[in-house]
Structure 1
Amino acid sequence: MEKQILNILNELVEGQKKIDKLMESQKKINELVNSQKDLAENQKKIIAQLDSLDSQVKENTQILKSLEHKADVNTAEQDRMSHDIAEMNGNLNGIRKDLMQVELITASNWSDIVKLKAVK
């Protein structure tokens, strides 16, 4: 009978060891589940951040396109202004020539006036 009790006790001890191993395994599984939940939450946060970055990139792209357009407009305006300045410069040179002609003719007229006054 002692042997039977000893066998039963040994079986109980072995059963307890198995239960302890199962409990340890269950604990590890719970830790893995919690880690998986944390990873899922972090993944959601990363996705939200990526969505935010995507929106920011789209906004920045629109701003960049707007700035590029503005730069093109400014370049066109500068080209037009350069053309206008060149045209004005040409006109100014023409006016200078005409003014020199007026000066020559005025000098000639004064010379004629002096001659006429001298004849009188």
Structure 2
Amino acid sequence: MDKDILNALSSLLDEKLEPIKSDLKEINRKLDGVVEQTADLLEFRSDITKKVDGIRDDLLQVELVTSNNWNEITKLKSVK
């Protein structure tokens, strides 16, 4: 009799846990997707950061050349 009760409780517990197990598998699948997307976003961020740093360097060079050009223009105007 005790064995029958244990078997009944075990099957009832398995029946109740099945949806939870299914939901847990779905959550894990979605979490794997989130982890993959996060890795892609981190790589994208790294690439964008490098490009922005390159643009900053280029802009600094443009500002230096522009400053030199203004100095040269001032010198040429003063010669007249």
TM-score of the superposition, structure 2-length normalised? 0.82
Matches within 5 A, 1:1-120: 39=1, 43=4, 47=8, 49-120=9-80
Provide the rounded CA distance (Å) in 2 between the counterparts of 1:118 and 1:56.
92
| One-letter amino acid of the structure 1 residue matched with residue 31 of structure 2 | A
SS in 1 for 2:39: helix
Provide the rounded CA distance (Å) in 2 between the counterparts of 1:111 and 1:96.
23
| One-letter amino acid of the structure 1 residue matched with residue 38 of structure 2 | Q
Q: Pairwise CA RMSD of aligned residues?
A: 2.2
Equivalent pairs counted in the alignment come to 80
SS in 1 for 2:51: helix
Give the gaps of 5 or more residues in structure 1: 1-38
* Offset, 1:71: 1.3
* Offset, 1:59: 0.9
Q: Which deviations, in whole Å up to 9, do the C-alpha atoms of 1:74-105 show, x marking residues without a partner?
A: 11111011101100111011111111111111
Provide the rounded CA distance (Å) in 2 between the counterparts of 1:55 and 1:109.
81
* Offset, 1:51: 3.4
TM-score of the superposition, structure 1-length normalised? 0.58
Percent identity over the alignment is 31
Provide the rounded CA distance (Å) in 2 between the counterparts of 1:115 and 1:101.
21
* Offset, 1:50: 3.4
Provide the rounded CA distance (Å) in 1 between the counterparts of 2:69 and 2:42.
40
Larger radius of gyration: 1
SS in 2 for 1:66: helix
